[in-house]
Amino acid sequence: ETSSGYLVQLTAQRRTTPKLYHSSQGFLRAVAAALDALAPPGLAESWDNVGLLCEPSPPHAVRTLLLTTDLTEPVLDEALARGAELVLAYHPPLFRPLRRLTPATGWRDRLLLRAAESRVGLYSPHTALDALPRGVNAWLAAALGASTSSVPIQPSTTLTYPTKGSHRVEFVVGQAEQLEAVLAKVQKIPEVSSIVTLPARAEGEDQTRVSLNCTEKAMQDVMSLLSQNGLYHMTEILLLQKPLLPQTGMGRLCKLSKPASLSALIERIKNYLKLSYVRLALGVGKTLESQIRTVAVCAGSGRSVLQGVEADLYLTGEMSHHEVLDVVGNGISVILCEHSNSERGFLLELQDMLVTHLENKVNIIVSEIDRDPLQLA
């Protein structure tokens, strides 16, 4: 992602991707491609910055991959001490556009410089990992109990249209000469494809129905042409929707098979996340013994995903003071686990997934230093 022409990914000059594995190690570019295949960057939110963010100049072998929620100086120290050539940081350590990269610019810049100088690659999956059927949100939803069913709150669609073009234009032409002339001009419009003609009968006369696919930009040229030829009133436009991906998307709306009290769910969640405490805001008119049937779940910061969702309870990492007031005012209780506490436990799941996905050719380790910055004092 770029803004005002400034680069937000640090990558060396591209070269041909080698075989994924050589002996007992992987090449960085190929390992990154395998990570992309596991959590496709196209599933990430549009504002996010995911994928390979910092690439030491090739060739760069990867024998050990360290997983962390946040890349901090202690975590980078740990990665170097444990011999990691690649760090997968769930939160992108390189997020905002850079105008300069110097040791004096800030702690994140110092981290990036030190990682590059130490030849440690940086990769982040972030919201692409959230969206997966077995991703972060599905993992967090499991805190509610094994018999809970869930669906994505914001479903993801396939990454490409099933056909070329985003729109289908259909129109009817009566005279053969006009049909031939219109088709000749339509075929010259860029980004028009899949032109099909079928016999049709309209207004008691034999005519020809023309169907074509095109981009939104090309549609304007097509409609201008049809208007010039008096065919505008005989035209239909269809938006080609991308199919939904099963169980893929942001957040989860969960239905408990058997209602449970709020106090019981709090204990389940604390045990699952291995936390000694969570923060609770009771919905107006609700108590700890109120029965919970539906729970809206979003790992991390849940405002944008959970906003307006009807449920008995919201489970997320963090929300602002006023966001919580808005929710509880509508009678919905809120459980906050702290931002990264709602995500960190998934790293152990991810470790198992990557061992299989990378065919046990790369040593996958989880940071022992990484922790939420907020502690009870």
**Residue numbering of the annotated binding site for a divalent metal cation:** 91, 130, 339, 343
Distances (CA, A) of 94 to 71, 88, 100: 10, 12, 13
Surface-to-core class of residue 155, CB atoms within 10 Å of its CB (0-12 exposed, 13-18 middle, 19+ buried): middle
Asked if residue 18 has a cis previous peptide bond (ω within 30° of 0), the answer is no
Q: Amino acid identity, residue 21?
A: Y
Cα torsion 54, 56, 57, 58: sign: negative
Asked whether the beta carbons of 365 and 84 are under 8 A apart, the reply is yes
Question: Residues marked as binding?
Answer: 91, 130, 339, 343
Give the separation between CA 212 and CA 180, rounded to whole angstroms.
Answer: 15
Rg from Cα positions in the chain = 26
Residue 93, SS3 per DSSP: coil
Helices and strands (DSSP H and E) totals, the chain? 11, 20
Return the ∠ at Cα 242 (arms to 129 and 138), rounded to 5°.
25
3-state per-residue secondary structure call for 273-299: HCCCCCEEECCCCCCCCCEEEEEEEEE
Distance, CA of 302 to CA of 293 (rounded, Å): 19
